[in-house]
Amino acid sequence: MKQNIKYTAEQLEIIANHLKAMPPVEKKKREFSKQEAVKILTKEIAALQKRGYSLNQISEALNGQGLEIATPTLKSYLQRAKPKAKVAKNESNTGTNKTGQNSNENSESLATNETQKATNASFTPKPDTDDI
Q: Pseudo-torsion of CA 42, 43, 49, 54, nearest 10°? A: -20
Cβ atoms of 69 and 63 closer than 8 Å:
yes
Mean pLDDT of the residues in the chain: 78
Segment 67-86, tens digit of pLDDT: 999 999 999 999 998 876 55
Low-confidence residues of the chain: pLDDT under 50: 96-112, 114-115, 118-119
Contacts of 12 (CB under 8 A, 6+ apart): none
Q: How far apart are the first and last CA of the chain?
A: 46
What percentage of the chain carries pLDDT values higher than 90?
49
Give 102's strand partners. Answer: 96
H or E stretch covering 21: helix 9-21
